[in-house]
Amino acid sequence: MIHEDNQPIISEEKFPFDKYWRIIKPKLHIVIFITLFMVIGAWIKESLKTPMYNATGLLMIEPERDIINFGNTYRFYGYRNEYFNTQIKILNSRSLSKAVMEEMVLYGVDFSKVSIGGMSVSPIEDTRLVYISYMASDPEVAAKLVNTLFEKIIEFNINIKTKSSKQATEFISKQIKNLRINLAQKERELQEYGKRKGLFYLSQRDSTVVEKFSDLNKAYTNTQIDRVNKQAGYEELKGRSFEDYSQVKQNQLINSFKSNYSALETDYKKKSQIFKESYPTMKQIKSQMETLKERIQYETRDIAMKIFKEAKNDYQSALKKEKSLLALLNEQKGVMVGSNADAIYYNSLNIEVKNMRVLLDYLGKRQKESLLSSKTEQSGMSNIRVIDKAEIPYSPVSSGKRKTLIMAFILGISIGLGLIFLADYLDRTIKMPEDVRALLGVPALGIVFSSKDKSYRSFYYYYDYKYGKKEYSKKKFEPKDIELINFIDPECQFSESYRSIRTSILLSSVEHAPRIITITSSVPQEGKTATIVNLAVSFCQLGKKVLILDGDMRKPRMHNIFNKKNTIGLSSYLVGRVKFSQIVQTTHIPNLFLVPSGPIPPNPAELIDSEIMKNMLKKLLEIVDFVFIDSPPLIGIVDTIILGKHSDGVVLVIWAGKTKNELIEKAKIELDQFNIRTLGVILNKVNFKKISSSDMYSYQYGYRYKEDEEARG
């Protein structure tokens, strides 16, 4: 919408609070009940919970130092924090948890006091620190669990570090054991042979053979040493991961890639606080990180495989050389034996013993070095350190009782409102005037509140006319009295409702007000008879002459309301048994006349659909201003359609919140099929609680007016 000065006018749509409040208010008790149930249930559940204690300790995980090489260089673990993240996973591993639990069993801990999943591992961002927490119903158990976990992770870390060194140590120890057995055997053989032969000197010829044998034996010993070294290196490499190879750690290309990756990772982490992962810059950084990751893995594996293959080849070459020299040595030994020189054989044994001792000394030295390395790593020099041990907590952690109660409160309201709106959605009835226009396309002429509503029951002065006596007595209003409430208590809310409907009917036509009005409903028991009587009384209060024609010749009731006999009436006149002047009867209400239905005929539809009926209505309009026709329900009975053709329009009475929309629509369709004008709809028995506050003034005006009159009287 554009204003005259070309300035746009912004229309603000208000939230339809009144509309939703009318839906919620009648069933508010459902929300209250469900909410109370949820809150009380949550409170009971929280009250029965065992108080839990949370013990927390602080752990520091530093980059691993290469202790075996006795250097000061740290291993590089910037590549996606692999080492740090690995230790975090180990902290959460089943094997470590099992070790902690086995340790705690020794202390007699009852694990029913420990919360399932009660351990929490929380790394501190941009640090090497980690908070470890355990939750238990016993504060001492909680603290003991954390401290035991610290001990086990350090022990586990040291065991992993020393695994490779232990493998090399075990190999060397095995070699030393076998060598000592062989050496002891050779020494015994040398001593026994010397004593038996009594050898004291060697000839020059024998010396040459022995010298050659000595050289071969010395070369064989050196080859054994070389093979042992290379085999030890090969075995050590087999027990290490590719990243632990010294050549890999010192490779400049790989370290450069890892540095670049760490820089990209830091940049990605900072930008992720601002941008989403789908942002182009974030995708580009992510792609670069993945490319570097693949390159690092490729280079690491390539270099490590080359190193491992080279170590394996060196070991196999040394082993081959050792076997070759052993064959030459055995051949030379055969020469000495073939010469039948006892002294030469004795000397060869002596040389073998000496060489074995040299080899044994060398292996002993390597064993000491390996043991020293293992002891150094086992001495507690772990890169995982305890900063703060867990202390016994003095107060239980918050159970979140307040939060749980708030959530239960919100959930209860949500469920309650959801059920109300679901029931309203499934409720296929008309409850408010605005629903009439949406469903039927005709106006709502007015509403009449339910007579069962305590808010509108009152005392009134009852006019007793049964015996023709004009006596007034104060009487409490009862629901059955609604049929004459407009006459009995003109100032009550019900009377005001009928006066409002009267105005709507008078204004329903542009040219002139309808004079013959048929009142009907879609199904029985919707209150059309009471509506006709009270509407007729409200028209009489304008000084108009009004006649009620009981056109329901199947179940007539008008004669009972006015205490009249039904011996003669409409049916009697239509069959020609009585004159017109005999069927019009006066009532105790001024200006109100009645034509009863008369005896129930076998064919009421045929009687109504006649020229006599038309002429009778014309005669009635000559003596009264308005004629109200009480007709049977629409559905299943054709009488109402015929009466509708004789009238200026039909008013449809609906029981609000009770009559199904399908029945109402069917009734309206029947009227439309025969081109019968529908003046509008009267909503009967409306629930007072469903009326919005904006409508209350109009409905309460009569009530306040009556109070003012009584106050002045």
pLDDT single digits (tens) 448-497? 877 665 444 443 334 444 434 444 444 444 544 567 776 777 777 777 88
Task: Give CA–CA dist 598/595, Å, rounded.
Answer: 8
Task: Give CA–CA dist 182/29, Å, rounded.
Answer: 98
Both ends of the chain: CA-CA distance in Å?
Answer: 55
Residue whose C-alpha is closest to residue 462's, from 444, 441, 484: 484
Whether 83 contacts 63, CB under 8 Å: yes
Task: Give CA–CA dist 134/97, Å, rounded.
Answer: 12
Q: What pLDDT, on the 0 to 100 scale, is given for residue 119? A: 78
CATH number assigned to the domain covering 428-712: 3.40.50.300
Q: What is the dihedral of CA 616, 508, 681, 555, to 10 degrees?
A: -10
- Number of Cβ within 10 Å of residue 52's Cβ equals 20
Tell me how long the chain is: 713
Contacts of 239 (CB under 8 A, 6+ apart): 163, 164, 167
SS3 of residue 322 by DSSP: helix
Q: What pLDDT, on the 0 to 100 scale, is given for residue 278? A: 82
Helix ranges, 67-107 (H): 82-91, 94-106
At 655-690, the pLDDT tens digits run 887 778 788 888 888 888 888 888 888 888 877 665
The DSSP-derived string for 231-286 is HHHHHHHHTS-GGG-HHHHT-HHHHHHHHHHHHHHHHHHHHTTTS-TTSHHHHHHH
Give the single-character DSSP code of 300.
Answer: H
> In this structure, what token pair is assigned to residue 371?
């043991």
Angle formed by the axes of helices 433-440 and 661-673, to 10°? 50
Task: Give CA–CA dist 549/580, Å, rounded.
Answer: 13
Low-confidence ranges of the chain (pLDDT < 50): 1-11, 66-80, 200-205, 340, 454-477, 479-480, 692-713
> In this structure, what token pair is assigned to residue 150?
């610290």
Whether 536 contacts 548, CB under 8 Å: yes
Task: Give CA–CA dist 652/664, Å, rounded.
Answer: 9
The neighbouring-strand residues paired with 54 are 135
Q: How far is CA 690 from CA 27, 427, 503, 696, in A?
A: 10, 15, 23, 11
Question: Which sequence spans correspond to the domains of the chain?
Answer: 164-380, 428-712
Q: Name residue, tokens 């939060």.
A: 403
Q: What pLDDT, on the 0 to 100 scale, is given for residue 332? A: 74
Residue whose C-alpha is closest to residue 420's, from 14, 32, 17, 16: 32
Q: What pLDDT, on the 0 to 100 scale, is given for residue 454? A: 47
Q: What pLDDT, on the 0 to 100 scale, is given for residue 210? A: 66
Residue whose C-alpha is closest to residue 630's, from 542, 533, 537, 546: 533
Whether 58 contacts 81, CB under 8 Å: no
What is the Cα Rg of the chain in Å? 55
Q: What is the β-pairing status of strands 626-630 and 546-550?
A: parallel
Q: What pLDDT, on the 0 to 100 scale, is given for residue 201? A: 44
User: Does the CA dihedral 162-164-165-167 come out positive or negative?
Assistant: positive
Half-sphere exposure of 501 (CA within 13 A, CB side): 33
Whether 526 contacts 657, CB under 8 Å: no
Number of H helices and E strands in the chain, helices first, is 23, 14
* Whole-model pTM over 0.75: no
User: Does the CA dihedral 292-297-299-300 come out positive or negative?
Assistant: positive
Question: Which amino acid would we find at residue 623?
Answer: I
Q: What pLDDT, on the 0 to 100 scale, is given for residue 457? A: 45
Task: Give CA–CA dist 21/694, Å, rounded.
Answer: 12
User: Does the CA dihedral 446-452-454-459 come out positive or negative?
Assistant: positive
Q: How far is CA 589 from CA 22, 84, 458, in A?
A: 38, 99, 22
Q: What pLDDT, on the 0 to 100 scale, is given for residue 275? A: 81
Task: Give CA–CA dist 418/31, Å, rounded.
Answer: 9
